Amino acid sequence: AQSVAQPEDQVNVAEGNPLTVKCTYSVSGNPYLFWYVQYPNRGLQFLLKYITGDNLVKGSYGFEAEFNKSQTSFHLKKPSALVSDSALYFCASYNFNKFYFGSGTKLNVKP
C-alpha cells in the first residue's frame, strides 16, 4: 500500500525562524516524493521532488527537503520563514500513475 502521513495538522513559527513540515511515507519500491503548497482558494503549486540521487533536494522559494530512507521521512525545511509562507502544505508520493497525498499541514508564520 502507498501512503504518506503528515503528523502535524498545524505548525506555528515566528518570521525569521527555521521551519520544518514533517512527512513520512510508506511505499513499495523506490519512492517518488513531492511537496506542494496551496494558498487559499488556489490550486496546488509544485515546490520540489525527490526521485533519486542526492538526499537533499532544493526547490522553489528557498524550500528544501531531506529524504531519509532509514526513517522513511521527507521533511520540508526552510532556514528563515516568511509571513508569506503561511499556507497549506501537502506531501505526496507517486506510484502507478496516481498521486497519494498526505492530509496537509497548515503553516502559520507570525510576524
Partner 1 sequence: DTEVTQTPKHLVMGMTNKKSLKCEQHMGHRAMYWYKQKAKKPPELMFVYSYEKLSINESVPSRFSPECPNSSLLNLHLHALQPEDSALYLCASSQVRGGITDTQYFGPGTRLTVL
DSSP label of 43 = -
Tell me which residues in 29-68 interact with partner 1 (CB under 8 A).
34, 36, 41-46, 49
Contact 92, 45 (CB under 8 A): no
The dihedral over CA atoms of 69, 18, 87, 98, expressed in degrees to the nearest 10, equals -10
For residue 78, the minimal CB distance to partner 1 (Å) is: 20
**String marking each residue 7-26 x if it binds partner 1 according to CB under 8 A:** --------------------
Please, what is the minimum distance in Å from the beta carbon of residue 87 to partner 1? Answer: 12
Bridge pairing between strands 64-68 and 73-78: antiparallel
3-state SS of the chain: helix, strand, coil percent to 5?
Answer: 5, 55, 40
Count of residues interacting with partner 1 (CB under 8 A): 20
- Does residue 74 interact with partner 1 by CB under 8 A? no
Residue 94 binds partner 1, judged by CB under 8 A? yes
Chain positions contacting partner 1, by CB under 8 A:
34, 36, 41-46, 49, 88, 90, 94, 97-99, 101-104, 106
